[in-house]
Amino acid sequence: MGLSAPDVSSGPVAVCLDRPVLALDRPFTYDLPAELGAGVGSLVRVRFHGKLTRGWVLGPTDDIPGRMLPVMRVVSPVRVFDESGLALARWVSERYVAPLAAVLDRLAPPRVAALEAAGPAPAAEALGGHVVDDVAGAGPGVFSGYVGGAELLEGIAHRSGSFVLRPAPDEETTTVVEAVRACLHTGNRALVIVPEAVPVPATAAALIDAFGPRVCVFAGGDKRARYETWLAIRSGAFDVVVGTRPAVFAPITGLGLIVVARESHPALREDRSPYYHVRDVARRRAAIEGAALVLSSLCPSAEVTALGLAEVAPRVRRWPKVEVVRPGAQGRAPRLVAALRGARRAFVFAPIPGHGLAKACRSCGAPASCASCGGALRSSEGAVLCVVCLTPGRCPACGQASFGIERGGAERVEEWVGLIAPVPVRRPARPRLPRASGEVLVGGPEVVHDLGPGGLDLVAVLDADLAERRPGLAARERALATWMEAVGWAWPDGRVIVQSTRPGEPAVQALVRGSPARFHVRDAARRAAAGFPVGMPVFRVIGDERLEAAVDGWDTHTALVSSLGGRTVCLLALEPEAVPAFGAAVRELAGSGVVERVEAEPHL
C-alpha cells in the first residue's frame, strides 16, 4: 500500500476532493498535465467552485464532462496510496458508508513538508531492515502444542488463510513472535496491530527483543515523528510494523501476515468517521494483498466467532482454576479474605471507580444528583463529582455540597485489602503488574493491559454481577474479555476467586472454563432476539423529519426510529449484501439535505 510508484498519468483523471461529506462523496474529473509527474495516490490542488481545494488522484477516468479544469499543481511528491491501497479505501468507504475523502485522509498521518524536502527515507539496509535470510527457528516451535498450529504455519508460508488464535495465558506474546518469525522466514513482511500504545505493550516489546531494528513501532508520537516513521515504512525500511489502530493502513510492501492482537478490545474500533473496525479492515486488506490473517485473543469477539474461521488453541487446557464464591459481609467473601492474607503478588479487579456513591444530601435529605445534569454523584479522591459531566457535586434542591456516601469502589477496596494483605496495597497510576518484592494491586479495566505473563499468586474479580446489569448489547462480552485477560495473570500456579451471586451466569461460567464458546452461543441468541444479530452491519442515521419516510423504503432487518432534539434518529440493522444500496440511498439523501450524519457500528 502506498509504496510502488504508479506510471505517471496525464489526461482526464478522477480526483477525490478533500471534502469529507457524504453529499460530495463522488469523484470529479480534471485534466492532469503530464509535466506534473502525478499519478494514483498523488495529493494535488484543483479548483472547485472557484476555490483552490486539495484532492487525491484516483486514476484515469472515462467520465469526461463538457468542461474540464486542469490540475493546478502537485502538493506533495509522496504518493499516499497505490492501487491496492485505493481498493482498500473504497471498501472501507462502502462498508461503513463514509466519505472516501475521510478514509483517504486516514491512510497517512498529517504530512510534514520539511521531511519530504529532506529527500528519500534511509535505505532498508541502513536501518537493519528486510534481512530475511538470518531468521532462525522458523519450525513448529510453540505451535507444536496447539491444535491447528501446523495449519496456521502452513497458511503463513503460503500467505493465505484466516485464523482465530486463542493462546495460552502465558503465550500471548510468544505466539505472535513465532507467527512473525515464520512470516519473515518466507521473505515476507508482517504487520501487528495492538489496541493500546501506553504503556508499551508486551507484544511490541517481545517483537523488538526478537527482531531488533527490523521492527518499527508505529504508535503515538508528535506530528513530525509519526510522518517520519510513516515515510520510513513506505521506503521499505522495516520488516515488522507493530502499531495501534491507524497502523492497519501502514504502507508495507511484501505483506505476508497481519496479526490483530487482543482482537476483542474496544479500542480497535474507530470512534470517528469512518468508524471502521481494525478486525474487518485487516481481513479485507489480507484478502486484497494476499496475506495470512491471525486474530488473536484469549476471548475472541462474537463477531469473529460467527465467521467460523479455523481456530488455533492449546492441545491441553491451560487455564488457572477459577473459584466462584458469593460475596460476604461488606462485599468480602471469607474465602477471598483468607486468600489475601497469604498472597504475595495479587491483583484485585474492582470495576467501580472511586470511594462510593452519594445517596442523599446531608443538609436537606433530598436524593443526591447533579444540579447541572441530574447524573449520579461519586466520591473520588476526596471530592464528589458528577459521573456524567464531572462538575463538582451540589444538591439541586438546596445547593449544598455535603452528601451521605454509600461506600464502595476501588478506593474503598484498597482500604480494606490494605488491612488484610501482608504486603503493600496500591492503586497504580498506570497499568503494571505487582512488583516481584510483593504487592497487591487494586484497579478496574484501566489496569488490564497487554503486560505479559503475570505469574501472580492470586487474581480476584469483584462485582461480577455488574456485567449483567450494565446497558449495551456487548457489555457482558466486554466484561468477560477483560476478566479473562486479568485471570490469565494467575497462570500457571496462581489462584482465582470470582465473587458473584449468580455462579451459573454464562459469562461467569465462561471464565471458569477458560473458553467463551458457550457464552457466545447464548449471547448470539440474545442479540438476535433484540433485533441486532451478531455480524449484521448496524448504522445510526440522523436527519430531518423526511428521514422516517425514507427508512420505510429500505431493505432493513431492524429499524428503530425516534426523535431527539427535533431531529430524526434511526437505528438500523441490515443484511451485509444490502449495505451498498443503503449507502447509495444515504448519499443521495445527504445531497438533498435529508441526512446529516451516519455512524457505523455504534456502541449499543
Closest C-alpha to 56, from 15, 85, 87, 100: 15
Q: What's the CATH code of the domain at 302? A: 3.40.50.300
Q: What's the CATH code of the domain at 54? A: 3.40.1440
Q: What's the CATH code of the domain at 552? A: 3.30.70.260
In a domain, 241, yes or no: yes
Are residues 545 and 592 part of one domain?
yes
Q: For 447, left (φ over 0), alpha (ψ -120 to 50), or beta? A: alpha
Are residues 178 and 31 part of one domain?
no
Are residues 273 and 171 part of one domain?
yes
Spatial distance between the Cα atoms of 423 and 436, rounded to a whole number of angstroms: 11
In a domain, 64, yes or no: yes
Coil/strand/helix, residue 342: helix
Are residues 310 and 166 part of one domain?
yes
* pLDDT on residue 406: 85
Question: For each successive 10 residues of the chain (604 residues), what is the average pLDDT?
Answer: 57 95 94 93 94 95 90 94 96 97 95 78 40 50 95 97 97 96 96 95 96 93 92 94 96 96 95 93 98 97 94 95 92 94 96 90 91 88 88 90 88 95 96 97 96 96 87 89 97 96 94 95 94 94 93 91 89 95 95 94 84
Last residue of a domain, one of 314, 341, 373: 314
Last residue of a domain, one of 64, 83, 102: 83
Are residues 218 and 297 part of one domain?
yes
Are residues 310 and 230 part of one domain?
yes
* pLDDT on residue 471: 76
In a domain, 26, yes or no: yes
In a domain, 288, yes or no: yes
Are residues 259 and 188 part of one domain?
yes
Are residues 71 and 138 part of one domain?
no
Are residues 296 and 238 part of one domain?
yes
Are residues 523 and 550 part of one domain?
no
Are residues 212 and 147 part of one domain?
yes
In a domain, 103, yes or no: no
Is-contact 99 22, C-beta < 8 A?
Answer: yes
Last residue of a domain, one of 265, 282, 314: 314
Closest C-alpha to 295, from 244, 248, 261: 261
Domain count, the chain: 4
Is-contact 166 301, C-beta < 8 A?
Answer: no
Are residues 582 and 518 part of one domain?
no
In a domain, 132, yes or no: yes
Is-contact 93 281, C-beta < 8 A?
Answer: no
Structural domain boundaries enclosing 566: 538-600
* pLDDT on residue 290: 97
Spatial distance between the Cα atoms of 84 and 18, rounded to a whole number of angstroms: 20
In a domain, 441, yes or no: yes
